[in-house]
Amino acid sequence: MKNYFRVFVFILSFCLFSPRLNAESELPYFNPEATISMDFKDASLKDILKIFSMQSGMNFIASEAVQDRKLTLYMDKVPVKDAMDKLFKANNLSYEFDETANIFSVKDWGKPELETVTKVYYLKYRSVPSARMQKEKSAMLTDASGSGAVDGTGMIDSIKQVLSKEGQITEDNSTNSLIITDIPSRFTDIDRIIASLDIPQLQVMLDVEILDVKKDVVDKLGFDFGESPFTLAIHGSGRRAIQYFGSIAQKGAAGAVTFGSTYFEALDFLRTQSDTKYLARPRLLTLDNETAEITITKDEIVGTEDTTNLTTSNVVVVTDRKYIRSTDLALTKEGTGIFLRVTPRINSDTNEITLVINPKSSITSTNAVWTSQSDAEVRSTKSIVKVRDGETVMLGGLLHKDKAVVEKKLPILGDIPFIGILFRHKNQTKDIDRELIVFITPRIIRDLNTPAAALQNITLSEKDKSTNSVFDRLIAVSSSLDSLEKTKE
């Protein structure tokens, strides 16, 4: 009898407690007796989850993408499970439960946990790499030197370093803008980078003088640039004194410098010689770290080798050098003359300018074997110098030969029109060594909007010095022209 009673008690206990055990096994993290009551309008999700946590005793974390989402709801004593299901389903939300930490993670349904934001940045002073202006500038530099520079790549590389794995950057060349997509927390660094790099660039005014002088005239001054081009920094502006280099370089030792006496007036001597040719006196305005280019050229027909059908029968050896016969020379038109490229880089802290100077001289000469063909002779160099604002850089050593033509005539008879040609004779003398001298004076233009204010700060004595310098140069040019006219007569 006692055994039957024990079995009855066991079965009764199982029937009474089995529903509760099943409910707890199905939803171990929900309190079935807890209910939710809330009334909110346009409340943020993070505030709603906070109240939800206080009433249910559960822990919630909302992802950054959804925590500020605005919700409107009204619940009155709704079971926790039903409240969560209806709340999240109506707002396209989902959740994951971490049993170890006992935390619910709420996120957007079917989307990553991190929400991304897209912003458009319109550049004011820089150019995106895909912009047409930037492509044309890069192509110009590539054609001239074999390597191009792109303005906006440095900024884009800096931005990419702070982007998250979800971030991306797109260029729009039509509006010169950057379209950046990333999580909101990264835009603080992105804003700082763009604000520090998209700034107005200083400009540099380059006063350039290119003179073609007889080499013996340069030798009279004691300047010996050696066999290679040489660069000399003239400390001072206008007609101020410099440290004169008594012997710039010995033959075969270009670049060796010895200091001599203080001397500047001798440089004006180059400008006042009757046979000095002013090839160019441009004034260029260029942006900081951008290249300015000067070309004084003419198109000439030159011969180039055509080695497609080269055999031993059409090669001539002259003094241990091989020349292609004229039948295998292709005639092409090339620009010959003077090329000058200058890139200034400003150091605002020291008020100094670093100049990357690349002069090139291309001239034609008669072919050593076939006098009917011309060969292009190219001389070039690259110098990097540092000068203060307003100082002058002097380049020399670009030598070339010029044919001097002398006209002989009988007095009076040689000047008679038409028949005077019978009493005149032109004789081509030997080659004369000439040298290209280049003066470059960079000046920093800090504010183009207030040129008048800057001029008002110039003292009367400085104005007189500047005016006298201009008059001196005009007088020198006039004197040179008069001397040339007298020589012709």
Give one DSSP letter per residue of 442-453, joined into a string.
EEEE--TT-HHH
Question: Which pair of structure tokens corresponds to residue 292?
Answer: 């300015």
214: helix, strand or coil: strand
Fold annotation for 117-199: Ribosomal Protein S8; Chain: A, domain 1 (3.30.1370)
β-strands 103-108, 60-62 pairing: parallel
Structure tokens at 271: 């400008």
Q: Do the beta carbons of residue 325 and residue 241 sit within 8 Å? A: no
Closest to 361 (Cα-Cα) out of 397, 331, 330: 397
Report, in angstroms and rounded to the nearest whole number, the Rg of the chain calculated over CA atoms: 42
Task: Could you list the beta-strand ranges (E) of 325-423.
Answer: 329-347, 352-366, 374-380, 383-388, 392-409
**DSSP secondary structure string for all residues of 128-162:** -TTSHHHHHHHHHHHHHHS----SSHHHHHHHHTT
Helices 187-197 and 153-160: crossing angle, nearest 10°?
160
The pLDDT value recorded for residue 432 is 74
Question: How many angstroms separate the CA atoms of 297 and 300, rounded?
Answer: 9
Strand partners for 247: 258
CATH of domain 35-108: 3.55.50.30
What Cα–Cα distance (Å) separates residue 104 from each residue in 30, 94, 109, 115?
Answer: 12, 10, 14, 19
Name the burial class of residue 238, with classes exposed (0-12), middle (13-18) and buried (19+) by CB atoms within 10 angstroms of its CB: middle
CB-CB contact of 351 with 389 (8 Å)? yes
Half-sphere exposure for 312 (CA within 13 Å, toward CB): 0
Q: Do strands 383-388 and 374-380 pair parallel, antiparallel, or not at all (unpaired)?
A: unpaired
Which parts of the chain have pLDDT scores under 50?
7, 9-10, 12, 14-28, 141-150, 225-264, 306-327, 368-371, 450-460, 462-463, 466-467, 470
Cβ within 8 Å of residue 144, ≥6 positions away:
291, 293, 339, 341
| DSSP annotation of 238 | T
pLDDT for the residue 220 = 60
**pLDDT value of position 85:** 81
The residues spanned by each domain of the chain are: 35-108, 117-199, 205-215+265-304+330-469
CB 345: neighbour CB atoms within 10 A?
15
Query: Dihedral of CA 268/271/276/282: which sign?
Result: positive
CA distances (Å), origin 150, targets 126, 136, 323, 432: 10, 10, 42, 44
Local structure of residue 250 (DSSP, 8 states): B
